[in-house]
C-alpha cells in the first residue's frame, strides 16, 4: 500500500508540474462505470493552473454534476468514444452552460481508463471571423448598390484587407490593412498584379479562383501565401466577388483578405501542445513503469532479508525515503534535463546523520545520468551509505570515506562511462559472517542488479579497514559545464 501511494504521488506531481506550464486548460478524467461496465460519468483526476482558474478545485468531482452541459454539446459522448476506442478526437464547441459562454477548441486523447483533454479558448478568434463575415455582407450590399461612397467608407474602416482588381489581376484600389498585411505602400501596390505578390506555388490556384468568380458570379475563397518585399510570407484567406457595372457586365473584382498569421500560429501552438501532451503522457507511463519495477524489487529484497514485520517496515521505509529523494530531484527538472551524479550523491549524503566531515568528494560536476539508471543507481548509493553509517566509515571515530568519480569515453563509438570509486578506511571491520541479517542486500544489488539491469561493471571488496566498491555505468552523452566537485 505504501509503495502504491508513493508511486501515485510521484506520478501526480510530475504530470501536474508539466501541465501547469501550459496556457491551455489541461484536464485528466477517469471513467466511472456501472456494474455492466458502461461508462456513466467521468471524475476529475488532474487540473492545471489555467483550468483551476476557470473551475476552482474540482479533483474527485463528477463531470456530469459539475458540467451537465457536456451532454447537450456531445462532449460526454466524445469522452466515451475516445475511452473505448483509443482514437483521439478534436472539435470546436460553442459552450454556453454553467460558468462558460464562448467558443472552445478541444483535443481529447485516451489516458488509462479515461481521457486527457487540452482546451483552448477561441472565442476572440470566432468573433473576429464573425466580423469578417459581417464586413463581407456589407461589401456585397455596397456592390449591389454600386455606391462608391459606402464602399469608400468600408475601405477606410475595415479591419481586413480590401482591394479592387481589374479582370487581369491588377490592383486598382487597396486599403491600409492590405498594405500592412503585404508590407507594401499604397503607391507600390497600385503598380502590381496579383501574381507579383503571391507565392509562386499559389499563383495557379489564385488564377483559378478569379476565373471561377467570373464564370459563376459567385464568391470564390482560397487560403494562400503572399510574399512581402523582405522575403517573408503572409498567410491570408482571400474571397473574390464580382463587381458588376450598371449594364450587368463585370469589369472589376472585389477581394476581401483576412490575415491568417495569428490563426496559423494558434493552430501550430495547439498542434505542438497536443504533441507535447502525447509525449508527456508516454514519458509519464514509462517512468511510472520503471518506478513500479524499482518499488517491487525493493519490496522483494527487503522481505527476503527481514526477520519480521517490524524489521521489514523499518528497512522498507528507509529505502522508500531514498527513492523519494530521487523523485524530488526528477520533479524539479525541466524538459530534456537529467539528474546529475553529484546531485544524487549530495542528496543521499545530506540525508545521513553521520560524520559527513569525514567524507572526501572528488570528480567533475554535472555528469548527467540516463533516466533509466537513476533509480537503481540511487538505491546502490543508498545501500553503501547506510552500511557506512551503521558499520563503516560514517559511523566510527577515525573512519574516512573517499568518493571519487571520472567520466571516460569507451569503445569504438567513444560513448561516455561514469567510473565511481567508493573507498572506506580506518574502519574496525567485523567478520563478514558476523554482519547482521539483511546487510548483504546492498552487495547483491551492486554485484548482481546493476550489471543485469544497467549493463554496469562492479566490484565489491571487504578490506581489512573498510569497504572498497567500484561501479562503472554508461551515462548521458552531454555534461553540464562546471568545476570539479
Q: Do 129 and 212 belong to one domain?
A: yes
Residues 424, 401: contact at Cβ < 8 Å? yes
Average pLDDT over residues 211-220: 87
Q: Do 109 and 54 belong to one domain?
A: yes
Closest by CA position to 426, among listed 360, 363, 472, 342: 360
345 in any annotated domain: yes
Q: For residue 155, what is the domain's CATH number? A: 3.30.450.20
pLDDT averaged over every residue in the chain: 79
Q: Do 325 and 243 belong to one domain?
A: no
Closest by CA position to 253, among listed 241, 235, 270: 241
Average pLDDT over residues 158-185: 88
Closest by CA position to 253, among listed 238, 239, 268, 243: 243
* Count of domains forming the chain: 3
Cell for 126? 470566432
Distance CA 85, CA 98 (A): 29
297 in any annotated domain: no
Distance CA 71, CA 64 (A): 8
- Residue that has been written with the C-alpha cell 499604397 in this structure: 186
Q: Do 199 and 343 belong to one domain?
A: no
Average pLDDT over residues 185-211: 91
Q: Is 473 helix (H, G, I), strand (E, B) or coil?
A: strand
Q: Do 323 and 464 belong to one domain?
A: yes
Question: Using 50, 70 and 90 to split pLDDT, how confident is the model at 356?
Answer: low
Please return the burial class of 317, using the count of CB atoms within 10 Å of its CB with bins 0-12, 13-18 and 19+: exposed
DSSP string, 424-468: EES--PPPGGGSPTTTHHHHHIIIIIHHHHH--EEEEEE-SSSEE
What does the pLDDT read at residue 29? 94
276 in any annotated domain: no
Cell for 102? 464562448
Q: Do 199 and 116 belong to one domain?
A: no
Please compute, for residue 127, the number of CA atoms within 13 A of its CA located in the half-sphere on the CB side. Answer: 7
Question: Using 50, 70 and 90 to split pLDDT, how confident is the model at 198?
Answer: very high
pLDDT, tens digit (0-9, with 9 covering 90-100), for 423-467: 999 988 876 666 555 456 678 888 888 888 888 999 999 888 889
223 in any annotated domain: yes
* Cβ neighbours for 360, distance < 8 A, ≥ 6 positions apart: 400, 401, 402, 403, 404
Distance CA 185, CA 170 (A): 15
Beta-bridge partners for 459: 470
Distance CA 362, CA 466 (A): 19
Distance CA 338, CA 372 (A): 11
Q: Do 160 and 237 belong to one domain?
A: yes
265 in any annotated domain: no
Q: Do 347 and 423 belong to one domain?
A: yes
Q: Which of 186-190, 297-301, 334-338, 396-400 is most confident?
A: 186-190
Q: Do 219 and 116 belong to one domain?
A: no
DSSP state of 334: P
Give the full edge-to-edge strand order of the sheet including 415-425. 359-362, 400-410, 415-425, 467-474, 457-462
Distance CA 309, CA 228 (A): 76
Q: Which of 71-80, 147-156, 245-254, 298-307 is most confident?
A: 71-80
pTM to 2 decimals? 0.40
Enclosing domain of residue 247 = 125-259
Q: Which of 121, 138, 162 is the last residue of a domain?
A: 121
Q: Which of 98, 121, 144 is the last residue of a domain?
A: 121
Q: Do 423 and 399 belong to one domain?
A: yes
Cell for 116? 486527457
Q: Do 467 and 325 belong to one domain?
A: yes
What does the pLDDT read at residue 471? 94
DSSP state of 333: P
What does the pLDDT read at residue 484? 37
pLDDT, tens digit (0-9, with 9 covering 90-100), for 118-153: 988 888 887 877 787 787 777 666 665 555 666 667
Q: For residue 385, what is the domain's CATH number? A: 3.30.565.10
pLDDT, tens digit (0-9, with 9 covering 90-100), for 14-56: 555 656 666 788 899 999 999 999 999 999 998 888 888 878 8
Distance CA 297, CA 266 (A): 46
242 in any annotated domain: yes
Distance CA 88, CA 86 (A): 6
Rg of the chain in Å (alpha carbons): 34
Average pLDDT over residues 202-224: 88
Give the full edge-to-edge strand order of the sheet including 39-47. 39-47, 25-33, 114-121, 102-110, 89-95
What phi-psi label fits residue 98: left (phi over 0), alpha (psi between -120 and 50 degrees) or beta?
left
Asked if pLDDT for residue 336 goes beyond 60, the answer is: no
Q: Which of 97, 121, 145 is the last residue of a domain?
A: 121
425 in any annotated domain: yes
What does the pLDDT read at residue 266? 59
Q: Do 100 and 148 belong to one domain?
A: no
278 in any annotated domain: no
Cell for 100? 462558460
Amino acid at each position: 500500500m505504501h509503495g502504491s501511494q508513493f508511486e501515485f504521488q510521484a506520478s501526480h506531481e510530475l504530470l501536474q508540474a508539466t501541465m501547469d506550464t501550459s496556457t491551455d486548460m489541461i484536464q485528466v478524467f477517469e471513467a466511472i462505470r456501472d456494474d455492466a461496465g458502461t461508462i456513466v460519468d467521468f471524475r476529475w483526476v488532474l487540473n492545471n493552473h489555467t483550468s483551476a482558474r476557470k473551475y476552482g478545485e474540482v479533483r474527485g468531482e463528477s463531470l456530469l454534476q459539475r458540467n451537465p452541459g457536456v451532454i447537450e454539446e456531445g462532449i460526454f459522448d466524445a469522452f466515451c468514444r475516445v475511452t473505448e476506442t483509443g482514437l483521439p478526437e478534436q472539435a470546436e464547441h460553442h459552450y454556453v452552460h454553467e460558468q462558460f459562454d464562448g467558443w472552445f477548441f478541444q483535443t481529447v486523447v485516451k489516458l488509462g481508463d479515461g481521457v486527457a483533454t487540452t482546451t483552448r479558448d477561441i472565442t476572440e478568434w470566432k468573433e473576429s471571423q464573425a466580423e469578417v463575415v459581417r464586413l463581407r455582407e456589407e461589401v456585397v450590399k455596397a456592390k449591389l448598390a454600386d455606391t462608391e461612397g459606402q464602399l469608400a467608407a468600408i475601405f477606410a474602416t475595415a479591419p481586413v484587407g480590401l482591394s479592387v482588381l481589374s479582370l487581369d489581376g491588377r490592383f486598382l484600389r487597396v486599403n491600409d490593412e492590405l498594405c500592412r498585411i503585404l508590407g507594401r505602400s499604397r503607391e507600390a501596390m497600385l503598380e502590381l498584379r496579383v501574381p507579383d505578390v503571391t507565392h509562386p506555388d499559389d499563383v495557379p490556384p489564385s488564377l483559378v479562383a478569379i476565373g471561377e468568380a467570373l464564370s459563376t458570379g459567385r464568391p470564390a475563397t482560397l487560403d494562400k501565401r503572399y510574399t512581402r518585399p523582405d522575403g517573408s510570407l503572409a498567410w491570408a484567406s482571400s474571397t473574390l466577388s464580382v463587381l458588376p457595372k450598371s449594364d450587368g457586365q463585370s469589369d472589376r473584382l472585389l477581394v476581401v483578405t483576412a490575415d491568417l498569421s495569428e490563426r496559423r500560429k494558434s493552430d501550430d501552438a495547439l498542434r505542438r501542445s497536443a504533441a507535447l501532451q502525447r509525449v508527456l503522457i508516454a514519458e509519464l507511463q514509462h517512468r511510472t513503469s520503471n518506478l513500479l519495477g524499482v518499488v517491487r524489487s525493493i519490496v522483494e529484497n527487503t522481505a527476503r532479508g527481514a526477520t519480521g514485520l517490524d524489521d521489514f517496515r523499518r528497512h522498507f521505509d528507509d529505502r522508500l525515503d531514498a527513492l523519494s529523494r530521487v523523485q524530488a530531484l526528477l520533479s524539479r527538472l525541466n524538459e530534456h534535463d537529467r539528474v546529475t551524479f553529484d546531485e544524487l550523491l549530495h542528496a543521499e549524503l545530506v540525508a545521513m546523520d553521520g560524520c559527513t566531515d569525514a567524507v572526501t568528494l572528488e570528480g567533475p560536476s554535472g555528469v548527467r545520468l540516463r533516466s533509466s539508471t537513476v533509480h537503481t543507481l540511487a538505491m546502490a548509493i543508498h545501500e553503501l551509505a547506510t552500511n557506512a553509517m551503521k558499520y563503516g566509515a560514517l559511523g566510527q571515530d577515525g573512519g574516512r570515506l573517499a568518493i571519487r568519480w571520472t567520466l571516460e569515453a569507451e569503445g569504438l563509438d567513444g560513448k561516455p562511462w561514469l567510473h565511481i570509486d567508493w573507498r572506506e578506511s580506518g574502519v574496525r571491520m567485523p567478520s563478514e559472517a558476523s554482519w547482521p541479517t539483511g546487510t548483504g542486500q546492498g552487495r547483491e544489488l551492486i554485484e548482481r542488479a546493476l550489471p543485469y539491469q544497467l549493463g554496469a561493471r562492479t566490484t565489491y571488496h571487504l578490506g581489512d579497514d573498510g569497504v572498497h566498491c567500484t561501479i562503472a555505468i554508461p551515462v548521458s552523452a552531454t555534461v553540464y559545464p562546471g568545476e570539479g566537485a
